[in-house]
Structure 1
Amino acid sequence: MNSDWRTAPIPEQLRATLGLLEKVTLSPNVLSSEDMLPVLATGVSAQAIQDALLICAGFNIISRLADALDVAIPSAEGFSRSAERLLTHGYH
């Protein structure tokens, strides 16, 4: 996907879901059940919306905690080293 999900060549179901997740993330105070209707209209199931919302909530919690605790983001080199270590040794 390119840098803009609004114009990326993705299925409409995904585009609608990403729009909902953006609103959940940026404007949760104005979210209502009406915001689910366009997503459902594309054929996304209620269960798929729930799954997407739960994943989004997890990422939002982690991001907000990291911001609150001023966690440093590793460099690209640091990410690469971590990825190599995980591929070699797993998550234990």
Structure 2
Amino acid sequence: MLGDEQKVQAVLENYESAPIPEAERVLFRFLEKVNREAEHIRQEDVEAVKAAGWTEEAIYDAITVCSLFNFYNRWADATGVREHPVEVYERSAERLSKGGYVASPPAGPPPGKDK
């Protein structure tokens, strides 16, 4: 979906009718259950996602990301933190698309080490 704003918008509006593979739809259904009824997740739910082609590691990662965003959203709401301007998100997306989540090490020798 990276770089396809129309597809992302379609997923946000309704992933069931969005132009995405069925495997992604299955994952989104599972994550919706994680969001709304986590206490009702059963092995059968996980098996359905695996049957759609997702690995245990991918499912674990999806649950983790979903859970972290739930935490961040609740934290932001409770503390009064507000959204950044769109430009901040666009710069962040550009940086992440080029370098991922791992920051580059700072230039120069490590702190406390002289050349």
TM-score between the two structures when normalised by the length of structure 1: 0.75
More relative contact order in 1 or in 2 (CA 8 Å, sep 6+)?
1
Distance 2:49 2:70 in 1: 20
Structure 2 gaps of 5+ residues are 1-6, 95-102, 104-115
User: Residues 46 and 84 from structure 1, CA distance in 2 versus in 1: closer, same or farther, beyond 3 angstroms?
Assistant: closer
* 4+ residue segments displaced more than 6 Å: none
- TM superposition shift of 1:25: 0.9
Deviations 1:21-75 (A, max 9, x none): 111111112222221121111111111111111111111110111122232234x
Match of 1:65 among 68, 71, 75: 75
Match of 1:42 among 47, 52, 64: 52
Distance 2:31 2:90 in 1: 31
Distance 2:54 2:91 in 1: 37
Identity between Structure 1 and Structure 2 (%)? 35
Structure 1 gaps of 5+ residues are none
Aligned length: 85
Distance 1:62 1:72 in 2: 12
Distance 1:50 1:83 in 2: 26
1:28 alignment counterpart: 38
TM-score between the two structures when normalised by the length of structure 2: 0.62
Q: Which amino acid in structure 1 is aligned with residue 86 of structure 2?
A: F
